[in-house]
Structures are given as C-alpha cells and as structure tokens.
Structure 1
C-alpha cells in the first residue's frame, strides 16, 4: 500500500481534462491521500491548439510537480496520458514513488500513438488534415467504445465534455526508454471491457514486464467505477 503521505498526480487521456479524474480524486482524498488532477495544455475549453508539442504536455506535468514541490508522487496516466507520464517520470524520477498505467499506452521510444495501430493512423491523419487547427475531435459514433457500459444519457454528457485534442500530441513521439529502469514500482491497471486501446492491454503491460490488474468497466471506468479505480490505486 502507498504511504499516507503520497500525492497522486492524475494525468487524463485524450480529449479530457482534470474533470475526468475528479470522482477518483475525491475518493483518494477521502482515504487521506492528496490528489492533483491535471488539464494539459490545449485541453481546457477555449485553449488554442496550434503550436503545441508533446513536450508541452510533458513540461506541464513536470512543472506542477516541481512548482508544488511534490514528493512521494504516485504518477498515474490514462490512455494517451501514458505518453506525458513516461516522459515526465524520467525528469522527476527522484520525486516519484510509484508509476501506474491505467488503460494506458505504454509508449515505445520513437513511436507516436498514431503509429501504434493502422486504423488509428488512418483515422487520425484524416481528422488532422480536415481540421483548421490540426486538432482531432471525437465523433459521437466513437463514444460507445469509450463508455460501453453506460446509458445513452451518460454518453451524451461525456461527449459534450470532450474537447478537440492537439494533433501533434498524437503524431510526436517521446525520446526516452520505458520506466522500468527508474528504480520505482510500476503497475498496470486494465478495465475488463476496454474497447478503445490501440493495442490489447495485456500486450501494453508486457512492455514493462507486468500482468495487468483487472478492473470492472470500460476505457473510462474512472468515471463509471470510481470506487474500484480508487481502491486499486490505493493498493
């Protein structure tokens, strides 16, 4: 179990901001832990999305940890958030006590998300080319893949909360190795009905030599099963 002095830094996936982690953060705080939910550059409502690079997302994670002088950090990333998580972990390794990939890509050095899956590549390149600011928006037909266990009403609300994602966050890669050499514990949490990952979660977890710990729900189970996600993060 993590120390009661741990601070959970929660990185959202694509199209989402700090709001997506609020249900879990509340439960972590109720258990006596500190929790910080992040909205990365370009992912707040009204943010400009041109001129951003993956390094900006990484830099935001690092600056929050450094500026607040956070230590004993449990660094958690969901989905695409595995990219800034991995890159940031190398920069603040001395402040990190545990790393958790949750329904997340475990990135390979030099491989952007757009190249993890041929279907993703086609879809994302088309969306970037069609967008005036090079961003990628979710279309309603994709939402059931993200929330397979939710009602239509919940899916509509979720869709309305999403914002376009900077395309460069998908097309740029990180230039660091995996986190297993950082000397901190690493975990992989996987929802049993995740339909949205670019590759099977078991394959992604194997990149860091882990077998996933299974959770209920789909890709966004931090919203639909926050009790289970919070409990898994606490143990």
Structure 2
C-alpha cells in the first residue's frame, strides 16, 4: 500500500470499530485494549485457564483481579476448528491460527460489518459496547505494529475464506490496489489489527456506545468536538 492509498483508505474509513463485552469500558480506559496474550500476561493467569483461553473459546472467559479490574476474553463462536483445518494454507494448523489471533487487537473498518455481527444469532440478544476510534490517529501512533487483513480472520462460516501466512500484512505490504479492483470503498480492508496491545486507547476514542442489535442504548463516552 502506498502513502496515497493509505490516505484514500483513511478517507473512506475514518472510524475504526471494536466490539467489547458490556461493562468492559472502565477496564479498557484504564489498561487500553489488550490482545488475548497480553491480557493473560497482565492478569498472571494460571496455566490451566491460560491453555483453555488460547484455544477456540466457545464462551467468553472472565479475568478478574482486585487491583486490575475485570476483563472478558470474547467467545469465538463464529470460528470452527474443523473449518479451519479445511481452509488453512502453508501447513498451518488450527492451533497455529489461534496463536496468530491471540497476539492481536482487532478493529473493523466498516460499521456495516459491526451491525451484521450484532444482528447475528450469537449476539443479538445481548448488549455490547462498541468503541468508535479515530483511524488516522491510531495509525499514526501505532503504524509499526499494525497489520491488515482482507478477510474476517476470526470467522469461518459455511464457506470459509482461505487463510495462511500472508493473511495479516503490514501496511506497506498490503495489496490495496488489487483489492480496489475487486471491492467497493469501505471493503478493501476488512480488519485492522495491532500486535500486542493499544495502551492509552482513550485518546483515540470518538465514542463508546452500548448497543443491542442495531439500537444505540447509551453513550458511555464521547470526545469533545475539535475546534474548527
């Protein structure tokens, strides 16, 4: 991706979206967004719980400490190890793929995809906190740890997209021009991931909204408008 292409992407997708469990915002505000691996390290999780958390999670796993607060490692209901075994390339195994997922923080570039996820059978009956993030500011601060994906890497579905060693690519190596020919604006990158964690996330936040399905229930945080 060239600098001009990155500028185009940020114009088309000025807001990133992260879906968190209800009640997550206070801990995120205090610790930033942590990858699964970073959260397990921060909370000093025992080996038995850690092993379960690093595999596919059919349900969310709660991490809680009096001095750190409470965090929920999200379930991975849209992901199937059986389907991964069919669609993985480059001699990767499902365990390899989970390691790749667990080392990242994930953001959507499309509000439409967030709404589709919220409307799905697994999540539509529950409230979630949606973090809306200033894309340009986050990219400027963490560019060296950002990798992009052209697919939903954490879902398989009936017809899982092939995935492998080159699914996550640094910004400079991402084939944006190729996807521009195939997809409309807003869909040329599906996921923006940050390796490790995003500390001090609050400085990039535009809004934090509690949502149930497509309905906004409550605004938990909102950045002050910038001066003209």
**Shared fold by TM > 0.5?**
no
Q: Which has the larger radius of gyration?
A: 2
TM-score, structure 2 normalization: 0.30
Would you tell me which structure has more helix in proportion to its own residues? 1
TM-score, structure 1 normalization: 0.29
Would you tell me which structure has more strand in proportion to its own residues? 2
